């Protein structure tokens, strides 16, 4: 296996720079193939070769995300919305906190999972397996699994211990928004 530290994206993008487009894509991403086709018509077409390649990559990554979710036994629609929220399906995305790749893994987490965070064929199945494990850890509560993916399992356990059924209100605002955006 290649050393993850030797692999660098060609372009690093702070995913917050394209929020408006990301929100639209996230809404459409839940629509499966029909949503992908609509995204293609909105962002593809005659806007140039780069846009067509980007749209084709988006569609390919979205299909891989759905397949990874189905293989892991989690909701493909929720997982697609999660990856859209994480990176906008940009395999070269990076965050100010140091998370990288399409699933926004911290490098240590990616290494522990044995995935290349910049390779969607590796990162998407790894993220889906991680979400399935988190969902199982939290008794099938996908909201808690999402919060744990975003803020860590310890933070979720602490919030549940403190707030019981009101646990989400004790999580950081970013995590509350993350869960609300993905779960609707």
- Distance CA(36)–CA(28), nearest Å, equals 7
**Which of 31 and 148 is assigned the larger pLDDT?**
148
Residue 67 has pLDDT above 90, yes or no: yes
pTM above 0.75, yes or no: no
Active site residues: 86
Model confidence pLDDT, tens digit, residues 33-45: 444 444 444 444 4
State the DSSP code for 182: H
The 8 Å CB, 24+ separation contacts for 125-128 are 125/68, 125/71, 125/72, 127/68, 127/79, 127/82, 127/83, 127/103, 128/65, 128/68, 128/69, 128/71, 128/72, 128/74, 128/79
For 71-135, the three-class secondary structure string (H helix, E strand, C coil) is: HHCCCHHHHHHHHHHHHCCCCCEECCCCCECCCCECHHHHHHHCCCCCCHHHHHHHHHHHHHHHH
Q: What are the boundaries of each domain within the chain?
A: 11-137
> What does each C-alpha distance from 8 to 20, 60, 94 come to in angstroms?
27, 21, 11
pLDDT, position 54: 67
Residue 153 has pLDDT above 90, yes or no: yes
Tokens 């989690």, located at residue: 74
What value, to the nearest 5°, has the Cα angle with vertex 127 and ends 78 and 167? 60
On average, the pLDDT of the chain sits at 81
Model confidence pLDDT, tens digit, residues 78-112: 999 999 999 999 999 999 999 999 999 999 999 99
């Amino acid at each position: 296996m290649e050393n993850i530290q030797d692999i660098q994206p060609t372009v690093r993008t702070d995913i917050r720079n394209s929020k408006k487009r990301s929100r639209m894509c996230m809404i459409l991403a839940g629509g499966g193939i029909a949503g992908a086709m609509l995204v293609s018509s909105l962002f593809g077409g005659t806007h140039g070769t780069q846009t067509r390649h980007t749209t084709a990559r988006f569609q390919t990554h979205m299909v891989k995300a759905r397949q990874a979710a189905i293989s892991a036994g989690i909701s493909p629609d929720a997982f697609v919305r999660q990856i859209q929220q994480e990176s906008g399906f940009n395999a070269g995305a990076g965050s100010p906190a140091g998370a990288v790749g399409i699933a926004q893994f911290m490098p240590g987490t990616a290494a522990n999972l044995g995935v290349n965070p910049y390779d969607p064929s590796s990162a998407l199945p790894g993220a889906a397996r991680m979400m399935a494990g988190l969902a199982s850890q939290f008794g099938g509560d996908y909201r808690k699994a999402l919060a744990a993916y975003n803020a860590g399992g310890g933070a979720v356990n602490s919030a549940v211990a403190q707030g019981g059924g009101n646990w989400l209100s004790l999580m950081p605002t970013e995590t509350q928004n993350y869960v609300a955006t993905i779960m609707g």
